[in-house]
Amino acid sequence: MSRLGLTSAPHLVFAVIASTTGVVLVFLTPPLQVADEHCHLIRTASFLKGEILPVRGPAGEYGLKVPARLLQDGNRLFGQTAFHPELRYDRSLIASVRAQPVQDGEDVLTRSCPNVSLYSPVAYAPQLVGVGVARLWGASTPVMIWAGRLANLCFFVLTTTLALTLLSAGGDVLLVLALMPMTLFQAASLSADAVLNALSFLFVAYTVRLLRCESLRPGQLARLILIGAAVGLIKTTYSPLTLVALTLVPAALRAWRQERRQWPFALTILVPACSLAVAWLWSTAAAPCFDPREWRPAIDVARQWEWIRAHPAAILRRFIATLAHLPDHSAEFIGVLGWLDTPIPKLWWAIYGLLLVVTALGWVRGRPIVDATPPIALGARCLFLTAAFMSLMVGYLATLLYWENVGDLGPIAFQGRYLIPVALPVFLSLDLPPRLRRRAFVPRVVLIGCIVVSQLVLLWTVWARY
């Protein structure tokens, strides 16, 4: 370890801070007080019963079959505090529910969470381990939630730590992004977004690592194909993010011309192709089980699609109106906790946003192995931005089709937390050339100090809210 000690190793800084803060959040945040966490618990329980897709009920409706006891406990644990920041959570609910373990018995079909019907088992792999083990031990619903949260947190910490070891220059911005209040709050929950964020970080970091390799090996590209396929299976709208792998095409073409090896080019093209293909296949299989009209009867996907095609100017105006709400999205991106009703203090939101920009530009003194690391080429940066933009556009389109009433003209209901998976390639594309990096004015110890304070702000915000 260098004289800078722990601060010169971003992966160690992350592992220590994320593990400490994350474990506290697992138990400090009351059960089901994270956005959509009750739906993630229900989906995890349905997967544990072997139901890969929603099942059809007696009246022909699709739903998720879960133990009746789990559903009853979930309704009680949900409480009255969601969307009511003036109320504190009644923790006596946890004690009353903990006395009654969830046992195999009567199952009920619930249709309360159609939005998670499109998620594949990949999105819940860590939660399935945690909740499944707790279920085998005859645990109660709160214990199952805590076990699932801990497993999700372990996966996030281990995967992101691996991403940080792969990413030399650029590790600072991933460190700040991964320890952002919103990112870590999701990681310490049952949310599928924690798995998506971790694998997105890993995919981009591994791509950047391969960009700096002298030659590409089959095993490297095969691993990238698997990670990209997993990203596409978690949330299909993020499969275009895997287009960042096309930055490896120049190296693959050089191998083709100079060494007569065609497989690097073929495997490189397969990375985004496989992600897009599995995303399309899963969406095709799950689409018949998903009806957005169950939570908003006015939604009509076919009519909305026709309206979009007939009114491109109106869609453009809606997109511009949505951009006008960028400050709100930025706040949600950095830290609006709970059921998106518990923002961190505005001052710290501004400070953390500035910290992200400073690290993205490379203005941190003492960055490890900066001078020895070549900058990302301009073409690769453009492709990073294009992949992130396409992912956002697919997400916007999905929101328009499945969440908005036909012909609505207001801003699109897009949430800032959905920007986290695409943030890393955007920030990496902003890194300054080495001659400008030398003008760095933020000491590395200040960077670590701000991150530590942000963790205290995060914990204080959750404690004060609940």
pLDDT digits (tens, 9 = 90+) for 346-404: 999 999 999 998 888 877 766 544 444 567 888 899 999 999 999 998 988 888 888 88
Q: Using the structure block, give the residue that is written with the tokens 């914990």.
A: 459
pLDDT, mean of residues 96-123: 80
Nearest to 245 by CA among 208, 216, 278, 280: 208
Most confident of 109-123, 251-265, 358-372: 109-123
- The C-alpha atoms of residue 228 and residue 244 are separated, in whole angstroms, by 10
For the cut 80, the answer to whether the pLDDT of residue 324 exceeds it is no
- Number of CB atoms found within 10 A of residue 258's CB: 8
Report which of 163, 207, 165 is spatially closest to residue 377, judged by C-alpha positions. 207
Distance CA 195, CA 125 (A): 8
Is 50 exceeded by the pLDDT of residue 43?
yes
What pLDDT score does 295 carry? Answer: 67
Q: Which two tokens stand for residue 134?
A: 């707790």
The end-to-end CA distance of the chain, in Å, is 41
Which is higher by pLDDT, 308 or 200? 200
Give percent above pLDDT 90 in the chain.
49
Q: Which two tokens stand for residue 418?
A: 């959905």
Query: 3-state class of 52 per DSSP?
Result: coil
- Given a contact cutoff of 8 angstroms between Cβ atoms, the answer to whether 117 and 61 are in contact is no
Please, what's the b/e burial string for 384-397 (b: 16 or more CB within 10 A of its CB; e: otherwise)? bbbbbebbbebbbe
Most confident listed range (72-86, 94-108, 192-206, 242-256): 192-206
Stronger pLDDT, 100 or 426, i.e. the higher one: 426
Stated as kind and residue range, the H or E segment containing 258 is helix 249-259
Q: Quote the strand ranges of 105-256, DSSP E.
A: 107-110
Q: Which carries the bigger pLDDT value, residue 332 or residue 413? A: 332
Nearest to 122 by CA among 19, 194, 36: 194
Of the pLDDT bands very low, low, confident and very high (cuts 50, 70, 90), residue 414 is confident
pLDDT value of position 457 = 96
Across 237-246, 293-302, 447-456, least confident range: 293-302
pLDDT top residue among 453 and 376? 453
Whole-angstrom distance, CA of residue 270 vs CA of residue 251: 15
How far apart CA 367 and CA 184 sit, in angstroms, is: 23
Q: Is 169 helix (H, G, I), strand (E, B) or coil?
A: coil
Q: Is the pLDDT of residue 160 over 50?
A: yes
Give the integer Cα–Cα distance in Å for 384 and 133.
39
Estimate to the nearest angstrom the gap between the alpha carbon of 466 and the chain centroid. 24
What confidence score (pLDDT) does residue 24 get?
Answer: 98
User: Which residues are CB-contacts of 64 (< 8 A; sequence separation ≥ 6)?
Assistant: 42, 43, 45, 46, 51, 54, 55, 109, 110, 111, 113, 116, 117
- pTM comes to 0.93
Per-residue pLDDT tens digits for 75-96: 899 988 888 988 999 898 898 8
**Average pLDDT of the segment spanning 146-165:** 97
Residue 371, pLDDT score? 43
| Phi and psi based region of residue 350 (left: phi greater than 0; alpha: psi -120 to 50; beta: remaining) | alpha
User: Closest Cα partner for 149 from 1, 299, 249, 37?
Assistant: 37
Q: How confident is the model at residue 458 (pLDDT cuts 50, 70, 90)?
A: very high
Query: How many of the other CB atoms lie within 10 Å of CB of 202?
Result: 24
Helices 37-48 and 68-78 cross at an angle (nearest 10°) of 170
